[in-house]
Structure 1
């Protein structure tokens, strides 16, 4: 038993904290006042510090984003026009910035154990990220994410697959140890300049550079760690429709519209102000978000199946999907103890209201149906152990 425990400690990092992880976002001038505003209103507040990389920043946008993101500190880095072709789309213009941002962020602060990157249409879940990385040894060369084979026409100039060079999709989120960055960083600028194909994605550039530098190590099980169960290339509803299991403490969702960024926030967080002093607070629902519950009505034959924070259906599968969640968990405060939350309300479209009565006698993770009312909409009362109220602080 002692040998197993020692082995676990050497292969993991149980003392890792959020301060050991550098967090950076790839953005661009087209999205600073749209996607990045949504990000700063939602997931950015989970982290003490977030770096934002863009080609340019519109006038006044830095001050605007920092005001929205507070108390999170934002670091703004402007990389300029890095495009390699005259007529390009926003996506094509962004690809040469991908590795440039990665190299800069590592050199800017080499003291972190890990570096996490995502797109501005992503939604990372901070505590799930920390929990995942605790299971790895940061002193090893590791690159974690959702893995695919690089496009052969871009990488090899052939339509047929010559070989599979694995890459981790950047938008789905990638995690890199400082140990690996230290090995590859001096190759990055020169290597990035070699790629001139307008469809050469930044994440594939990094993979090709890594494969060329360390061909025997840039494989799954060595440097690369496939975590398709944690890093998702689309939003939660698209993943559910495709049959994916997202109830896995996900680390990141991708390809989110602005409304979808708020949708994911509504699934995992409740953000509010205290009535007594207007102080900003939140509750973290990640341990139960995505859990499936049966809400019993008059008989067991008349029931709903709830995927908490996501959708309501008639049976326990997405084919019976009726309606999505349309609000965050709205706190209901006690009339006497004004800062005490006694319940949360969450709407599922306009005709279903779920009210969760906070009850510490309910076992952790369980939900009990209490009663229901039918007016112009269905109002179902349930009971569960609610998460604690928290401040935006990072011990």
Structure 2
């Protein structure tokens, strides 16, 4: 008999303004070997972003045909290759010129409220990102994300070391309000020559400190920004905002755990599972009492070690309709030989799920009761991918 040990609930932070994706501009820093990474991201979280810029210091060697097949997913994208022949390696060049890229995004989209930056292996949950940004006053200077203390190694190279100095981790995602960007980004040329060898996210805050010694007051660490892969991070307590080091099939597996869509006539229906996705739950099978871990929508694994080998979802979370094809009865997802059903229950609060009372029908099936999210109707707007070389 299968039984859960606990379940999860979520509470919303206080909203102080309403935002949409149109209020945001996204900038992605790409490497020279990133074509396959970009294809995974175009197929997943890049969808529906109206303002997306991809910057690289070297020729991306993009497979245009692979990327173009995603240009009908409401995304408008500019891809830029900047060539710098100064003898440095790609990594060093990228650290030096990321301030330039950031300033370019602010220049091209001067009327946005937030500027979001990430790497080509950064995965962002747009719904929870907007939820957290709505709790911050965008008319004030702020930089949000996952904060880290400066390392002892870096402290030794500074004239006036401060062991409590913090910066926002770039791979987790940097979120800058326009007032913050206007404080520091126009100074990118001065910053580019400061602190050589330092990573760009640390360099950004160190440079700002040169002009504003009290710069730490603008920094805010928000739960949900993650610097590692989902299996390497601690258990999710709130809806995730981002993950880092997402390679290969990782993006699609994460997407399958949070995104459902289908066509209803000419309308594209979308469901976001962001209040449930990746939450750890444990149950036992029969009399063995061997715990089985379940990361919602993502992975089944034996024991309580999520880094262990397991079975990832092989399908998205797909709807099952009644005979009239008008009402969703429940959702289904496949994990290898296992079937997982999500039964829609209105008597549960949003973010709470539990094992169904009529659960076990076979050794390869289990059911969860979930307050299923409301489908949102969207439309297809053919996007455009523009390539710009040797700028």
TM-score of the pair, normalised by structure 1: 0.80
SS at match of 1:47: coil
**Could you list the per-position Cα deviations for residues 150-189 of structure 1 after superposition, in whole angstroms to 9, with x for gaps in the alignment?**
4565575379966454221111111111011112233112
The verdict on how the C-alpha distance between 1:128 and 1:379 changes in structure 2, with shifts beyond 3 A counting, is same
Pairing partner for 2:263 from 274, 290, 298: 274
> Is the 8 Å Cα contact of residues 332 and 343 (structure 1) preserved in structure 2?
yes
SS at match of 1:274: strand
How far is the alpha carbon of 1:223 from its aligned partner?
0.9
> Is the 8 Å Cα contact of residues 150 and 165 (structure 2) preserved in structure 1?
yes
Aligned pair count reads 366
Structure 1 residue aligned with 2:8: none
> Is the 8 Å Cα contact of residues 141 and 223 (structure 1) preserved in structure 2?
yes
The verdict on how the C-alpha distance between 1:167 and 1:302 changes in structure 2, with shifts beyond 3 A counting, is closer
Structure 2 residue aligned with 1:5: none
Structure 2 residue aligned with 1:210: 208
How far is the alpha carbon of 1:246 from its aligned partner?
1.9
Q: Which runs of 5+ in 2 are unaligned?
A: 1-13, 381-391
The verdict on how the C-alpha distance between 1:55 and 1:388 changes in structure 2, with shifts beyond 3 A counting, is same
1:234 has 2:220 as partner: no
Provide the rounded CA distance (Å) in 1 between the counterparts of 2:62 and 2:252: 24
C-alpha root-mean-square deviation of aligned residues, in Å? 3.4
Provide the rounded CA distance (Å) in 2 between the counterparts of 1:268 and 1:223: 31
Provide the rounded CA distance (Å) in 2 between the counterparts of 1:30 and 1:300: 47
Structure 1 residue aligned with 2:125: 125
Structure 2 residue aligned with 1:347: 334
1:31-50 superposed matches below 5 A = 31=34, 33-50=35-52
1:1-395 superposed matches below 5 A = 13-31=16-34, 33-56=35-58, 61=63, 64-82=66-84, 84=86, 86-88=87-89, 90-151=90-151, 153=153, 157=157, 163-195=163-195, 197=196, 199-215=197-213, 217-219=214-216, 222-227=217-222, 229-239=223-233, 244-270=234-260, 272-274=261-263, 280-293=268-281, 304=292, 306-312=294-300, 317-318=304-305, 323-334=310-321, 336-338=323-325, 340-348=327-335, 350-360=336-346, 363-364=349-350, 365-369=352-356, 370-374=358-362, 378-392=364-378
Q: Which runs of 5+ in 1 are unaligned?
A: 1-10
Provide the rounded CA distance (Å) in 2 between the counterparts of 1:78 and 1:319: 38
The verdict on how the C-alpha distance between 1:339 and 1:372 changes in structure 2, with shifts beyond 3 A counting, is same
> Is the 8 Å Cα contact of residues 43 and 124 (structure 1) preserved in structure 2?
yes
The verdict on how the C-alpha distance between 1:18 and 1:312 changes in structure 2, with shifts beyond 3 A counting, is same
Provide the rounded CA distance (Å) in 1 between the counterparts of 2:54 and 2:345: 41
The verdict on how the C-alpha distance between 1:245 and 1:160 changes in structure 2, with shifts beyond 3 A counting, is farther
How far is the alpha carbon of 1:214 from its aligned partner?
0.6
**Could you list the per-position Cα deviations for residues 203-241 of structure 1 after superposition, in whole angstroms to 9, with x for gaps in the alignment?**
1221121111111x222xx111122x22111011011xx
SS at match of 2:294: strand
Provide the rounded CA distance (Å) in 2 between the counterparts of 1:298 and 1:59: 53
Provide the rounded CA distance (Å) in 2 between the counterparts of 1:12 and 1:386: 23
- Higher RCO, 1 vs 2 (CA within 8 Å, ≥6 residues apart): 2
TM-score of the pair, normalised by structure 2: 0.80
Name the structure with the higher helix share.
1
> Is the 8 Å Cα contact of residues 21 and 114 (structure 1) preserved in structure 2?
yes
